[in-house]
A and B are shown apart, each in its own frame.
Chain A
Amino acid sequence: MLFHTWPFAVFFLIVYLIYLALKETRFRLLWLLASSYFFYGWFNPLYVVLIFYSSLVDYTVAARMEKSNHRKMWLSVSIINNITLLSFFKYGGFVTDNINNLMSFVNIPYAIPTPGWLLPVGISFYVFQSMSYTIDFYRGNVERERSFIRYATFVSLFPRLLAGPIERAKNLLPQLDKTTKFSSQDITDGLSLFVVGLFKKIALADYLALYVDKVYTAPEQFQSPALILATFLFAWQIYFDFSGYTDMARGVARIMGFRLMLNFNNPYLATSLGDFWGRWHISLSSWFKDYVYIPLGGNRKGTFNTYRNMFLTMVISGLWHGAAWTFILWGAIHAFGRFLTREMERTTFYREKVPTLVKQLFVFTLVTFAWIFFRAENIGDAWIIITRIFSSGWANPSCPILALALVFAVWLYEYVYESRIRWLLELRAVRIGIVVLMIFYLMVFAPSSEQGFIYLQF
């Protein structure tokens, strides 16, 4: 049940109408929780058991922590439980595959059976959200949540359940704490977010995917221009796909009166890798900053330790995305990119003489290069793509002009948005015109297939 499908439209209509009827009663949270579990169970009813278990453990841990002198031990219970849950489902195959490869390399005639279970959708997101609550409670940043229903709703709230944003307890729990009072502006804001997200997903991401998938499925059959363009388009595809999902999630939540955090902020206008991570998947990057980078020491203990901490954080972030060496390399490339742009920013020349547009293009190129590892099926494919980009011929890439034109239009929009002539985009006629155009385009030209979201696999 994805946001851009009819089942979700029917589901949301029913849930919302009953939610409106119950919003000032004590059944409001119970209804939200039941709806969220139904939403999650639609994918697989067993998932509900998993999310209930995860919520129950962290809720209990916080309760025990409050009364215990061994707060650290209880925090460890929470962290170990969450990491184990994630590892069991997400990294089991990766670990056994690598052990088997190693044993084969040293001629040990034994192979550990590879686990065959599927990764429960959204687990990486809600496990991180739940874990952040116990850490924040341990640190004294949030109060303990007394109601299990409220806590379970915080973990499972359906608009953000599948792929975030990874909310913090101090943002979302208070919103669940009171009887929701929301205005008509919440509904119009929610609609605005939803329509933009829908357009990004259906008209842009799914469109670009056609070309990207064609090239990346068999990279050895394509030459340099096609591989460059497919990588370029993938950079935009994943942005439209994930930020489109987030916009829709925030829109649905906003219509119900909840304000989820901003997750993307025109990331391809970043002027350094640090800036990029302040604009891309903000809820995850801030999570890693607060719960990994800073506890490791952050930038407090000299240049070497700072870079070591950055490197570890980025590699772990890569591993969070998927159990494969491609993701680890992707994280490592970003780490080196951060070192590089950080050092460059320290020079007066780069800071003051290099035009912003050049910095943006440089960062975009770095990020796009890293996407090769993110998108490739395996390291071998990534290597084929990189070598062929630099060594193969210049055959006609057969890349749709319309796709490139749409990407350029979005880039131009974002560029103007961050420029001094932003007021142009704020004119009523322009805003209304863009929304009408988006809706018309969606209705007339959008693909009829329903493609899933890239980030649901994480």
Chain B
Amino acid sequence: MDIHKHSNVKKEYQVPFGSNTIRLSGFEWILVAILCSALFFLAPVLWGSVEKFETGSDYRLPYDLGYDYWLYNRYCRRACSEYETLVVGDSVIWGHYVSKDNTLSSDLNENIGQDQFANLGVDGFHPAALLGLLKYYGRDISNKNVIVHLNPLWMSSQKHDLQTEKEFRFNHPKLVSQFTPNIPCYKASFSRKVSIVIERYIPFLSWTSHLKMAYFENMDLSMWTTEHPYKNPLTAILSRFLASEDENLQENVSWAEKGIAKQDFDCVELETSIQWRFFRQTVELLRARDNQVFVLVGPFNEHMLKTDSFNIYQEMKREIETWLWQNNVAYYIPPPLPSEFYRDASHPIAEGYAMLAKQLSENQSFRSSMIP
């Protein structure tokens, strides 16, 4: 056993170093740092080059990988090189109740007869998360045409707007502001917040999250092997193909047929809305990256609103339009689709998407800014 000698410590105080030989010198630690840095830098890059990831026409990220920001980043890079226009937003853009060839981007492609629009929507991307996503994982989006979808649902209550003081679980907490500006309902531990911030700047860390989500059912290896004690983790990695999967979410049924009643929405004031503030920042971020931005507002299911909520919503729409107009942002606020074309408060069904795509394609502002 190694005995550490030191001028300060008399002979009787000499202490054995340890019970193993893993004791590195300064030079050896430098070698370790170089090797680890190389691994950290190369592993995600090499992985990206060997992992099967075939996108193809009308691709959208698999539903269960909505939290896989490394994959989003990878798809974003590919979409930027293959498509003229990127459509970003939440599940309305992703196409929650429709198949991948009935989404807005798919219908727009069909209307113009070529693959120009890429579906970069993901379930649950509220404006606060969308800003974080584009800031940290969508850095490749520059000098592109970008359609940003604003779903007014995110401002339809204090809870949706993340304004409540009481903590609750919301979508994509890793993407929202961790320290400033403060989000009242987000109360993760300091340790967790620091980890999240670090992960945003180190691709290696988001890559490890990708491994967990894509291959280990969103579990770490230890939990996964506990759940599947006799399975080989390597087999799990080799078995998955990151193709666009049409999970069984398709429902071509209207909200009325589903028995959903009219509702009161306690919409927040735009002036104090957290989500609206983040949405504005998203538009500014995209424009600062020299993108041509086009904002699509709604179409919200106004048929579902009771009278008071309807009036408040109209006022909100007017304020949104004013800001977009004042800031020279190209936009389109479509009229509500027919009631039977909505699945719920914000998601159209296949026919709804087709109609929306048609309306957009005929819109002058859209044609001049998004269709070259």
Binary flags per residue of B269-309, CB closer than 8 Å to A gives 1, else 0: 00000000000000000000000000000000000000000
Q: Tell me, rounded to whole Å, the shortest Cβ–Cβ distance linking A301 to chain B.
A: 29
Contact B191 A435 (CB under 8 A): no
Closest to B24 in A: A192
Alpha-carbon distance A399/B17, docked complex (angstroms): 35
Of A260, A403, A443, chain B has the most CB atoms within 10 Å of the CB of A443
CB-defined contacts of B205 to chain A, threshold 8 Å: 443
The 10 closest A-B pairs by CB, nearest first: A445-B221, A6-B191, A207-B222, A400-B225, A259-B15, A6-B194, A400-B229, A265-B19, A262-B16, A210-B226
Alpha-carbon distance A175/B22, docked complex (angstroms): 25
CB-defined contacts of A400 to chain B, threshold 8 Å: 222, 225-226, 229
Q: Tell me, rounded to whole Å, the shortest Cβ–Cβ distance linking A454 to chain B.
A: 17
CB-defined contacts of A191 to chain B, threshold 8 Å: 24, 29
Q: B23: which of A178, A189, A417, A440 is its contact (CB, 8 Å)?
A: A189
Contact B19 A262 (CB under 8 A): yes
Of B12, B21, B195, chain A has the most CB atoms within 10 Å of the CB of B21
Q: Is B262 positioned at the interface, with any CB of A under 8 Å from its CB?
A: no
Q: Is B265 positioned at the interface, with any CB of A under 8 Å from its CB?
A: no
Alpha-carbon distance A206/B223, docked complex (angstroms): 10
Q: Is B371 positioned at the interface, with any CB of A under 8 Å from its CB?
A: no
Q: Tell me, rounded to whole Å, the shortest Cβ–Cβ distance linking A215 to chain B.
A: 11
Closest to A424 in B: B21
**Contact (A174, B10) CB under 8 Å given A262-B19, A446-B220:** yes
Alpha-carbon distance A333/B272, docked complex (angstroms): 67
CB-defined contacts of A402 to chain B, threshold 8 Å: 221, 225, 233
Of A10, A171, A183, A184, chain B has the most CB atoms within 10 Å of the CB of A171
Q: Tell me, rounded to whole Å, the shortest Cβ–Cβ distance linking B118 to chain A.
A: 30
Contact A432 B229 (CB under 8 A): no
Alpha-carbon distance A260/B18, docked complex (angstroms): 10
CB-defined contacts of A66 to chain B, threshold 8 Å: none
Alpha-carbon distance A27/B25, docked complex (angstroms): 31
Q: Tell me, rounded to whole Å, the shortest Cβ–Cβ distance linking B67 to chain A.
A: 13
Q: Is A413 positioned at the interface, with any CB of B under 8 Å from its CB?
A: yes
Q: Chain A contact residues: over half helix, strand or loop, or mixed?
A: helix
CB-defined contacts of B35 to chain A, threshold 8 Å: 432, 436
Q: Tell me, rounded to whole Å, the shortest Cβ–Cβ distance linking A423 to chain B.
A: 9
Binary flags per residue of A234-250, CB closer than 8 Å to B gives 1, else 0: 00000000010001001
Q: Tell me, rounded to whole Å, the shortest Cβ–Cβ distance linking A62 to chain B.
A: 20
Closest to B198 in A: A6
Q: How large is the interface on B (under 10, 10 to 19, 20 to 34, 35 or more residues)?
A: 35 or more
Closest to B13 in A: A171
Closest to B209 in A: A448
Q: Tell me, rounded to whole Å, the shortest Cβ–Cβ distance linking B198 to chain A.
A: 8
Q: Is A261 positioned at the interface, with any CB of B under 8 Å from its CB?
A: yes
Q: A259: which of B9, B36, B221 is its contact (CB, 8 Å)?
A: B9
CB-defined contacts of A428 to chain B, threshold 8 Å: 28
Alpha-carbon distance A214/B340, docked complex (angstroms): 50
Q: Is A297 positioned at the interface, with any CB of B under 8 Å from its CB?
A: no
Binary flags per residue of B25-46, CB closer than 8 Å to A gives 1, else 0: 1101101100110011001000
The A259-273 residues at the B interface (CB cut-off 8 A) are 259-262, 264-266
Binary flags per residue of A204-244, CB closer than 8 Å to B gives 1, else 0: 00110011001000000000000000000000000000010
CB-defined contacts of B21 to chain A, threshold 8 Å: 417, 422, 425-426, 431
Question: Residues of A within 8 Å of B, CB-based: how many?
Answer: 66
CB-defined contacts of B190 to chain A, threshold 8 Å: 6-7
The B206-242 residues at the A interface (CB cut-off 8 A) are 208, 211, 220-223, 225-226, 229-230, 233
The A158-195 residues at the B interface (CB cut-off 8 A) are 170-171, 174-175, 178, 180-185, 187-189, 191-193, 195
Closest to A259 in B: B15
Alpha-carbon distance A250/B157, docked complex (angstroms): 52
Binary flags per residue of B145-183, CB closer than 8 Å to A gives 1, else 0: 000000000000000000000000000000000000000
Binary flags per residue of A196-207, CB closer than 8 Å to B gives 1, else 0: 100000000011
Contact A445 B222 (CB under 8 A): yes
Q: Tell me, rounded to whole Å, the shortest Cβ–Cβ distance linking A242 to chain B.
A: 13
Contact A174 B13 (CB under 8 A): yes
Q: Is A439 positioned at the interface, with any CB of B under 8 Å from its CB?
A: yes
Q: A178: which of B8, B18, B20 is its contact (CB, 8 Å)?
A: B8
Alpha-carbon distance A178/B10, docked complex (angstroms): 12
CB-defined contacts of A187 to chain B, threshold 8 Å: 26
Contact A447 B222 (CB under 8 A): yes
Closest to A171 in B: B13
Contact B18 A262 (CB under 8 A): yes
Q: Is A398 positioned at the interface, with any CB of B under 8 Å from its CB?
A: yes
Q: Is A450 positioned at the interface, with any CB of B under 8 Å from its CB?
A: yes
Q: Is B258 positioned at the interface, with any CB of A under 8 Å from its CB?
A: no
Contact B8 A181 (CB under 8 A): yes
Q: Is B7 positioned at the interface, with any CB of A under 8 Å from its CB?
A: yes
Q: Is B53 positioned at the interface, with any CB of A under 8 Å from its CB?
A: no
Closest to A180 in B: B8
Q: A260: which of B7, B15, B195, B233 is its contact (CB, 8 Å)?
A: B15
The A53-84 residues at the B interface (CB cut-off 8 A) are none
Alpha-carbon distance A266/B19, docked complex (angstroms): 6
CB-defined contacts of B52 to chain A, threshold 8 Å: none
Q: Is A145 positioned at the interface, with any CB of B under 8 Å from its CB?
A: no
20 chain-A/chain-B pairs, Cβ below 8 angstroms: A6-B190, A6-B194, A6-B195, A171-B15, A175-B13, A181-B7, A182-B6, A183-B6, A185-B25, A185-B26, A193-B17, A266-B20, A398-B229, A403-B226, A425-B21, A432-B24, A440-B39, A444-B43, A444-B211, A444-B221
Q: Is B139 positioned at the interface, with any CB of A under 8 Å from its CB?
A: no
